[in-house]
């Protein structure tokens, strides 16, 4: 299957599909000017992105919704062309809070449904299955789950819908080889957050490693293909059938990150990028490391 700018959806196990690149929209609210999220989402749709990754907790879901609705009203896209992923935040796992929280997202977006809705812990599953049955969500997925936690869900008696995706940190310095293999065996698509190695905000990012985009190999491969290190890093993941959701609110970089369908890395090059893996998380969420379900104590 060839991925192109016009056609780059990959299948999900429930019969739906997901565009292999999406625009990430998390931006520290205090450092972000009002409207920049909306402008970026609109621009991304113009450039050809069809997948937007957001969350109620990001405090800009209203702008994402406005941008999508304006692009639909302009006739640029139809609702079904757009894939929106929303997220159930950690304080809303009690079954009775799940649907109201999802409805908050839908009301903020002013959309009838989201394409994918993802959770961080297993407890809320039953209530989420009901949201899918009610048509409020097309697909259900998870985020930051380790293998044990995925198995817990997959082996849950009476499970109605398997998670279709697991959104985790993934880039050439943290390649997630074992988790990828496990997920592929179970038809779970990996969605890579921070595929460019994060914003390097020292408040929540481990910045003890040099920036990924300064990496020598990524830059020299970039030179070979007349691409940037960022484009090489994104291409590496999509060739592994990993969905990437680089955040950018910068017009030049929004475009740049989408221009990854007109070159390909050789098998050798893929191997040499894989070898850059340092197996260390940049987003370690250590704040929650004493929680019993903190996902990152396990090997993967």
| Selection from 190, 193, 274, 198 nearest residue 232 by Cα | 274
Burial 213-229 (b: 16+ CB within 10 A, else e): bebeebeebbeeeebbb
Stretch that binds ligand A2P, among 104-112, 247-255, 263-271, 285-293 (CB under 6 A): 247-255
Measured distance CA(64)–CA(42) in Å, rounded: 8
Among 124, 139, 247, 260, binds ligand A2P (CB under 6 A): 247
Q: Which stretch of DSSP H or E encloses residue 40? A: helix 36-47
Among 18, 21, 23, 26, binds ligand A2P (CB under 6 A): 26
Cβ atoms of 220 and 276 within 8 Å: the answer is: no
58 catalytic residue (yes or no):
yes
Stretch that binds ligand A2P, among 92-100, 130-138, 183-191, 251-259 (CB under 6 A): 251-259
Question: Which is the catalytic residue, given 26, 58, 117, 173?
Answer: 58
Nearer to ligand A2P, 86 or 246 (CB): 246
Retrieve residue 228's tokens: 């940037």
Q: Which residues pair with 142 in a beta bridge?
A: 119, 166
CB of 181 to ligand A2P, least distance (A): 24
* Token pair 């191997």: residue: 271
The sign one gets for the Cα dihedral 247, 252, 258, 264 is negative
Measured distance CA(63)–CA(76) in Å, rounded: 17
Nearer to ligand A2P, 175 or 257 (CB): 257
Q: Which of residues 111-140 bind ligand A2P (CB under 6 A)?
A: none
Q: Which of residues 202-221 bind ligand A2P (CB under 6 A)?
A: 213
Please count the other Cβ atoms lying within 10 Å of the Cβ belonging to residue 151.
Answer: 13
CA angle 231, 41, 245 (to 5 degrees): 40
Among 69, 104, 186, 253, binds ligand A2P (CB under 6 A): 253
222 binds ligand A2P (CB under 6 A): no
Among 230, 238, 265, 276, binds ligand A2P (CB under 6 A): 230
CB of 109 to ligand A2P, least distance (A): 20
257 binds ligand A2P (CB under 6 A): yes
39 binds ligand A2P (CB under 6 A): no
Measured distance CA(238)–CA(36) in Å, rounded: 27
Stretch that binds ligand A2P, among 10-18, 105-113, 137-145, 250-258 (CB under 6 A): 250-258
CB of 240 to ligand A2P, least distance (A): 17
Which positions lie near ligand A2P, rule CB under 6 A? 24, 26, 194, 196, 198-199, 213, 228, 230, 246-250, 253, 256-257
Provide the annotated active-site residues: 58
């Amino acid at each position: 299957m060839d991925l192109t700018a016009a056609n780059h959806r990959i299948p999900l196990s429930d019969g739906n599909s997901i565009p292999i690149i999406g625009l990430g929209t998390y931006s520290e609210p205090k450092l972000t000017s009002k409207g920049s999220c909306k402008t970026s989402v609109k621009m991304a749709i113009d450039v050809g992105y069809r997948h937007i990754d957001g969350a109620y907790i990001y405090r800009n879901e209203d702008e994402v919704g406005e941008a999508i609705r304006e692009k639909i009203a302009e006739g640029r896209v139809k609702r079904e062309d757009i894939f929106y992923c929303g997220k159930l935040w950690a304080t809303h796992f009690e079954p009775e809070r799940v649907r109201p929280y999802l409805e908050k997202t839908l009301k903020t977006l002013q959309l009838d449904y989201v394409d994918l809705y993802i959770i961080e812990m297993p407890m809320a599953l039953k209530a989420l299955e009901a949201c899918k049955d009610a048509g409020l969500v097309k697909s259900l997925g998870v985020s930051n789950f380790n293998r044990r936690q995925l198995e817990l869900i997959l082996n849950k008696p009476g499970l109605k819908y398997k998670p279709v995706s697991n959104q985790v940190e993934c880039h050439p310095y943290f390649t997630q080889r074992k988790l990828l293999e496990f997920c592929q065996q179970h038809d779970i698509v990996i969605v890579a957050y921070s595929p460019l190695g994060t914003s390097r905000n020292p408040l929540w990012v481990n910045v003890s490693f040099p920036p990924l985009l300064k990496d020598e190999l990524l830059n020299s491969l970039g030179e070979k293909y007349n691409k940037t290190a960022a484009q090489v890093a994104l291409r590496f993941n999509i060739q592994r059938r990993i969905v990437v959701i680089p955040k950018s609110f910068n017009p030049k970089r929004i475009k740049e990150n989408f221009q990854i369908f007109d070159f390909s890395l050789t098998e050798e090059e893929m191997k040499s990028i894989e070898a850059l893996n340092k197996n260390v998380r940049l987003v370690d969420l250590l704040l929650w490391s004493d929680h019993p379900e903190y996902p990152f104590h396990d090997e993967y």
